[in-house]
Amino acid sequence: MALAGAKFGRIDNYLGTFRIYPGSLSLSEHSSIKYNEYKSTIFKKVRKKNYNVSDHIFRFAFKFLEYCENPKLLIERLRHGHVLKMTN
């Protein structure tokens, strides 16, 4: 969508939520591998290069700025952890 000129923004609210259970396909190792392959493919398509160390640094810097601009997001992340984190 971004390559076609779509604009993106942040909405400060949940549009939907769901639970992931231990046996769900979303948490399977196969799904994680497929998702990481997909992210890599999209990154290569958009950036026309492989993901490298400098991209990790830029990602960290942008996440830091994102949390500074939106402290509520940081609080939610600290309170609930990673979005796909398993909870009992």
Phi, psi for 63 (deg, rounded to 5): -65, -40
In a domain, 73, yes or no: yes
Q: How far apart are CA 72 and CA 13, in angstroms?
A: 10
In a domain, 54, yes or no: yes
Average pLDDT over residues 9-36: 72
29-56 pLDDT, tens digit per residue, is 777 788 888 889 999 998 899 999 999 9
Exposure letters 39-56 (e unless 16+ CB within 10 A, then b): eeeeeeeeeeeeeeeeee
Domain span holding position 69: 25-88
Contact 70, 12 (CB under 8 A): yes
In a domain, 9, yes or no: no
Tell me, rounded to whole angstroms, the distance of Cα 72 from its chain centroid.
17
Q: How many domains does one find in the chain?
A: 1
Q: How far apart are CA 50 and CA 30, in angstroms?
A: 22
76-85 pLDDT, tens digit per residue, is 888 877 665 4
